[in-house]
Structure 1
């Protein structure tokens, strides 16, 4: 069965974006970008909320057309365009680039998606992740901690009831040359699902 893998970058103080949706503090260099490409190219689909999808759709469809882009950026543009995408939105009416719009997170539907053949499912977006967590649907966490403090903004993990939080087991960590640290966890007991 495929896994749902939450992949998000956060500041050291736990924010995914600044108070005005800034993400310019991300320290993504070619090494880290190539790592993202290697991981994401093996996924079966991207799952995102409307805001994350629109942010991605505003840049990646043509990013490889700019001759000044680095190799990892060009490679990811192609990965993103060709990857099946599921965007969860109650307001979007149309989407392109192999995208399916789904109105609500329904556990049975997500379990059916996980049961399909293919690679794991990359989950992005704090609001969507909160709903997946509330329903116990996240199997792995790949949290990329950037060595910056931004003070305020949108937290990756909003306040949650303690019983809704899964026990986690560290399965890997990695320090990149730019100081970003990957913390890779799985739900306790999730191996071999």
Structure 2
């Protein structure tokens, strides 16, 4: 069975607004390397619309720094699934799923393949509830933003999820990458 990896950038106060901070070169290299064993991306609509138009343009135009260009190329080359009831048009290697995201992710997890990388705050509680997330990669940035979307809304989980810390990376920028696996 394939591994499902949840990855997200966060502020110190727990907000997941990618527009509130910019990963430095080392953090981008970290995420680029993480995608080496990934062959499918699983996104909600909001994250898809935030990430893909921007990074596909960077990949096409090579308009970023060397680290940004490498990240953009890697992200753009991986097949993706986006969960959306409203999107009509997506990029060429992206498939839209209209309903039942947990069923879709379970089906994909049971197929032969490499790791699935998921990045969707809105889908996270449902995926945790049905046990589909195997690993959590959180990059905490040294910024307090005070508003935005929290990783989990109050009451969104019915049971706690125990995690075991397996790795920590401290970046010169002050960002910290935390890698957790399900425990117990």
> Scaled by the length of structure 1, what TM-score is found?
0.87
How large is the Cα RMSD of the aligned pairs?
1.8
The correspondence of residues 59-138 of structure 1 with structure 2, limited to 5 A, is 59-66=54-61, 68-138=63-133
Q: Note the C-alpha offset of 1:25.
A: 3.2
- Cα distance in 2, alignment partners of residues 92 and 116 from structure 1: 25
For residues 131 and 2 of structure 1, do their structure 2 counterparts lie closer, same or farther at Cα, with a shift above 3 Å needed?
same
Cα contact 1:90–1:104 (8 A) shared by 2: yes
Q: Note the C-alpha offset of 1:109.
A: 3.3
**Which residue matches 1:9?**
9
**Which residue matches 1:160?**
155
Structure 1 residue runs without a partner (length 5+)? 18-22
Q: Note the C-alpha offset of 1:68.
A: 4.9
Cα contact 1:2–1:117 (8 A) shared by 2: yes
- Cα distance in 1, alignment partners of residues 165 and 104 from structure 2: 28
Cα deviation digits, residues 123-161 of structure 1 (max 9, x gap): 112102222123322111101111111112210111236
Residues matched between the structures, number: 184
Q: Note the C-alpha offset of 1:45.
A: 0.8
For residues 81 and 162 of structure 1, do their structure 2 counterparts lie closer, same or farther at Cα, with a shift above 3 Å needed?
closer
Structure 2 residue runs without a partner (length 5+)? none
> Scaled by the length of structure 2, what TM-score is found?
0.91
Which segments of structure 1 move beyond 6 Å, counting only runs of 4 or more? none
